Structure 1
Amino acid sequence: MNTADLGLPVAVPSTALFTDQYELTMLQAALRSGTADRRSVFEVFTRRLPEGRRYGVVAGTGRVLDAVENFHFDDTILGFLRERGILDGPTLDWLADYRFRGDIWGYPEGEVYFPGSPIMRVEGTFAEAVVLETVILSILNHDSAVAAAASRMAVAAGDRPLMEMGARRTHELSAVAAARAAYVGGFHVTSDLAAGFRYNIPTVGTSAHAFTLLHDSERDAFTAQVDTLGSGTTLLVDTFDVTEAVRTAVAVAGPGLGAVRIDSGDLLLIAHRVRQQLDELGATKTKIVVTSDLDEYAIASLAAAPVDAYGVGTQVVTGSGHPTCSMVYKLVARADGNEPGAPLRPVAKKSMGAKSSIGGRKWAARRLDEDGVAEAEVIGTGPVPADLTDQLLQVPLVSGGKVVAREPLDATRSRHIAARAGLPLSATQLSRGEPVLPTEFV
């Protein structure tokens, strides 16, 4: 959900310069050669998953729709392109009236994907579709990487809540996008207020070590926080001595203390000791929150610990070692002429090595076994087999230039949980492995 959904005013800047120069120079050359109006089909896909990952997560679709809708060239942008001598006059005149008027299909946000999956398909004239390449890829590559990491962390956490706390570990705008993607992947709240404002994600936060150090004693700091936020707050107990801090925290807040947070040390050992101490002090319902450079492996290692929630920062906003999904945007079909009804002809890059592609407009379906569990990602360019018509994955996102698939962020989060649950059980293994589903081209 964005601020428009909340009825809040927001300035929406143009996304037209979130592009590489060669897209606009290709446009200029195509206008000169007379090929700019040829109907074209571009597809977004990845040739492989990040090493060791068993599935990918589609995230950022909602942001792509916003970006496409706001992709236009105002006088300031056109003036910049003119002053730099990047484009000629006719091309600038063409861009002055630019709006995407084509169609976009794609996997719905939150769905899982595999190597070769046609995650998004953009159809229109070559001119109107080619200029969207960079902005679409930059959003999908970043957000899908974060969502995939978040999904793995959610698997490791089980029923325990996850808090996204990585805003200070990435670019300030990336932090907002990362919080959104983490929520799609299974996180519950974010510490980033911009993300809460823009996308209506629940926010959380209490205090840092600086607040404790500000006061003359730990007791004074705890008292100030409890007086302000109530006894249900979370007190940070590892600034000095954890055992003494827990004792002080319960003395100040009483047995109704909401939670204590541990941010350093041997989290497994300390969590067990703190749980025992809290119970002995009568704070049996006080929860334990752990932070401190967690990733999916650290979270899994704490599965047997008396931990109630995890706060994750750096690793989730950077994709836990894989900050991009290596998605590409390739022309897979184009018309032989400029006439609206000219038939499409498959085209593909046929270079040596791993960078070749498969031509043709593609459909995608997920074949299920007799128990209803996914067993293959099936991709084709011809007629869809009758037994797969109910398992088609792509949905219309933009039709005739109009966005037709906006949805609440909670819907994408629920979709991901359901999609992940429909995969073979081995999808939840954190150990390195091959994609959990094979990709079959038919």
Structure 2
Amino acid sequence: MFDIVPESAIVEGRATDAYFLRTEETLEHAGRNPTVVAEVTRDQFPTGEFDCFAGLKDAANLLAGYDLDADAIPEGTLFDGGPVMRIEGPYLEFCRLETALLGFLSHASGIATAALEARRAAPDTSLLSFGARHVHPSIGGVVDRSAMLAGLDGFSLVAAEAFVDGEASGTMPHALMICFGHGNQEEAWRAFDEAVDEDVPRIALCDTYDDETDEALRAAELGFDSVRLDTTGSRRGDFRHIIKETRWKLDAEGHEDVDIFVSGGITPETIRELEDVVDGFGVGSHISNADPLDFALDIVEIEGEPAAKKGKLSGKKEVYRTPDGGHHIGLADEASPAGGDPLMEPLIRDGDVVAEFDLDEAAERATADAERVGFREA
């Protein structure tokens, strides 16, 4: 019914570029299936521009059951060059899986990096992932899981509850307000309050028909804990001034405890501009529309001997986090740099997934790494 590559096609290796099938045919015809070491990289050498690694759980499930070993840096690790994953085994075991493997890592890591940019813009402010509506629904769960991996506080897509420990967040859209008609905002807010579960936060949308300050005060007087401003860009003007005026009006009328949340076109720059006058943000397209990272998979060793195409670094490698927050790349059989912590960890052994994927631990790792490397410091 929908233009979605089914899970079975991914698992069976049919979600692949055609030339990998030609490669299989050629190698099988020639009776060749060398044991190789292949590495997934974004940049060969450290660049100083860090990204956040994500998508590893799906990548591991893709490779599971094949006669190979794999190592990878853990999800949430920040990197700026060198391998993020290493695969060792007969090449035909994973030849046709390369397309899907890179897609799993590239898209999720791009989204997680953008989410971490938002997180770093306001480390102590509530941030929710509102980006599912901007992407194909088949990857909505990827968006919200990657955002939570980067340390966001919540997500909006109900289906993502299957991948993320927690319940989807969200209260009311403009459509609900419009269904009750102009001048009937109180009726809409009361109906919402009476209908939805008491565990759902009482956040009133306050910009549908009248002035934001007016609607916010009216909602506060009904007992709502918070208000959300999602003012259309064409009507927004000086959004900071609108928010400050709303805060002033609420405080002046004795509603100092009513929080203000904002959404609509929120970026890290917006967050930095508004975080001192806002209690939380819904961040959508900045996260969901992030460019995938440009990963590549290259053979670097064949039958125990270094091998690589022109422009790539041959030989099996290790990557390290250095005491100064840097990222060191060296051959695997070389001594580690002084004080360097190796980043690669076992992922698959003899076809079995041996790593665990804890989203909270990944988020803690991303936060700690971001601080350590000075990620996107303003």
Show CA shifts across 1:168-207 (max 9, x none): 1111122210111111112111100111123324420111
Q: Could you list the runs of 5+ residues in structure 2 that have no partner in the other structure?
A: 1-5
Report the secondary structure of 2:83's partner residue.
coil
Q: Report the secondary structure of 1:122's partner residue.
A: strand
**Distance verdict in 2 for CA 1:53–1:165, change over 3 Å:** farther
1:358 maps onto 2:313 in alignment: yes
Q: Which residue of 2 aligns with 1:21?
A: 18
Q: Distance in 1 between matches of 2:288 and 2:258?
A: 29
Q: Which residue of 2 aligns with 1:276?
A: 248
**Structure 1 position 228 matched with structure 2 position 195:** yes
Change (3 A) 1:176 1:299: same
Alignment partners' CA distance in 1, 2:113 and 2:48: 9
Matched residue type, 1:331: I
Q: Say if 2:101 is the partner of 1:104.
A: no
Q: Which amino acid aligns with 1:416?
A: A
| 1:312-353 alpha-carbon deviations (Å, 9 max, x no partner) | 11111111xxx1211101111111xxxxxxxx1111111xxx
Tell me, yes or no, if structure 1 residue 240 matches structure 2 residue 206. Answer: no
* Deviation, structure 1 residue 234: 0.5
Shift of the 108–48 alpha-carbon distance from structure 1 to 2, 3 Å rule, reads same
Equivalent residue runs for 1:50-89 within 5 Å = 54-69=49-64
1:400 is aligned to 350
Determine if contact 1:188/1:202 at 8 Å carries over to the other structure.
no
Partner of residue 332 from structure 1, selected from 288, 292, 300: 300
The aligned residue for residue 307 of structure 1 is 278
Q: Does 1:210 align with 2:145?
A: no
Q: Distance in 2 between matches of 1:213 and 1:314?
A: 24
Indicate the SS of the match to 2:93. helix
Aligned to 1:294: 266
State how far apart, in whole Å, the 2-side matches of 1:192 and 1:382 are: 42
The residue that corresponds to 1:42 in the other structure is: 38
In structure 2, what is the Cα distance between the partners aligned to 1:317 and 1:212?
Answer: 26
Of 234, 252, 259, the match for 2:226: 259
Runs of 4+ in 1 over 4 A off after TM superposition: 386-390
Q: Distance in 2 between matches of 1:262 and 1:394?
A: 44
CA distance in 1, matches of 2:25, 2:42: 28
Helix, strand or coil: the match of 1:132?
Answer: helix
How many residue pairs align between the two structures?
360
Q: How much has 1:13 moved relative to structure 2? A: 3.6
TM-score by length of 1: 0.77
**Distance (Å, rounded) in 2 between the aligned partners of 1:234 and 1:222:** 9
Write the distance in 2 (CA, Å) between the matches of 1:31 and 1:106: 29
Which of 133, 145, 148 does residue 98 from structure 2 map onto?
A: 133
Deviation per residue, 1:59-105 (Å, 9 max, x gap): 01112112223xxxxxxxxxxxxxxxxxxxxxxxxxxxxx4120010
Contact 1:156 1:300 in 2 (8 A): yes
Shift of 1:285: 1.2
Looking at structure 2, the residues matched to 198 and 156 of structure 1 have their Cα atoms a distance apart, in angstroms, of 26
Contact 1:195–1:201 (CA under 8 A) maintained in structure 2: no
Output the aligned Cα RMSD: 2.0
For 2:163, what is the secondary structure of its paired residue?
Answer: helix
Superposition deviation, residue 407 in structure 1: 2.2
Structure 2 SS opposite 1:59: coil
| Deviation for aligned residue 1:215 | 0.6
| Kept in 2: contact 1:58–1:109 (CA 8 A) | yes
Conserved 8 A contact 1:40-1:129: no
CA distance in 2, matches of 1:168, 1:48: 35
Given the two structures, how large is their TM-score scaled by the length of structure 2? 0.90
Q: Tell me if the contact between 1:365 and 1:378 (Cα under 8 Å) persists in the aligned partners.
A: yes
Q: How far is the alpha carbon of 1:232 from its aligned partner? A: 4.5
Moved more, 286-295 or 378-387: 378-387
Superposed CA deviations along residues 345-381 of structure 1, whole A, max 9, x for unmatched, are 111111xxxxx1011111111221xxxx31x321112
Letter in 1 for 2:307: V
